[in-house]
Amino acid sequence: MEYGQLLVISAAVIGSAIIKNSVGIGAGIFLLPLLSLVLPPKLALALGAPAMLVSDLVGVRSYWQEWDREELLFLLPPAVGGVVLGGVLIALVPGDVFKIAVGVTAVVFSIYNLFRTGIAGGVSSNRPDFKAVHQIYRRLLTILFGFAGGTASTLIHAGGMVMSVYLISQQRSSRRFVGTLVLFFATINFFKVLTYYRIGILNRDILVLVGCLSPLIILGGVLGNHLNKRIAARLFRTITLVLVFLIGLRLLTTI
């Protein structure tokens, strides 16, 4: 790799780790478009899974037991099924189409969340009262979002978009919100690494590269946890969304 590529990859993984451990939303959709600027899209996808798994493990330690156990119990099994489906679909998607999908997703995601009232603050102002809904319906909804989150995460590392729509609609502290997302994606990214390796887009060279980048990822995770405690989530999430928009726009202009 050239020095420019390594610089962009390093910035991508440390930035993703900061986002993952500070606001919980947008880490994957920040990481993948940035990596896709210097790597083939499917190679960027493969590198992203182990890189985010490292930052997830940092997050699990930082947010230990600050998650919603009951919610995770219902979210994780269908999410693993979504990972399996995503692994099947990856082999069917051409590289150019994949790159376009990543760029469009980044742009749409950032624009939608920049102009949606309340999401930058961590809790939607138009929050549905899930507690008032029948328990069976709520659990079916949980299963649906879990499956969709696993599939989107496997295809374009966009599971955070899906899960944020579900989790942010429920009243919870920023620590509990991020903690639930971190443990959810730590589990999902573990299965994604196995899936990517099995279908052949992840190899030992990529794992060695991620191992070399691990100190930067860990540093980003620690910094993200610190920012969660010190900086207003609304401001930091707005900055992140602007970056995601610019990266996605740049990706689309290089097709």
Angle at 133 between CA 131 and CA 136, to 5 degrees: 105
Domain extent for 20: 3-253
Given this model, what pLDDT does residue 170 score?
A: 59
* Structural domain count of the chain: 1
Given this model, what pLDDT does residue 127 score?
A: 46
Cα gap 250→213, rounded to integer Å: 24
Given this model, what pLDDT does residue 231 score?
A: 72
The reported pTM is: 0.75
Given this model, what pLDDT does residue 173 score?
A: 66
Given this model, what pLDDT does residue 208 score?
A: 93
Tokens of 208: 């060695």
Angle at 76 between CA 71 and CA 78, to 5 degrees: 115
Cα gap 184→149, rounded to integer Å: 10
Q: Are 60 and 171 in contact (CB under 8 A)?
A: no
pLDDT along the chain (255 residues), means of 10: 87 89 76 86 88 89 85 89 88 69 73 63 44 62 82 78 64 72 89 90 91 92 83 70 73 66
Cα gap 45→59, rounded to integer Å: 21
Residue written as tokens 């082999």? 91
Residue type, 27: A
Given this model, what pLDDT does residue 240 score?
A: 65
Given this model, what pLDDT does residue 168 score?
A: 57
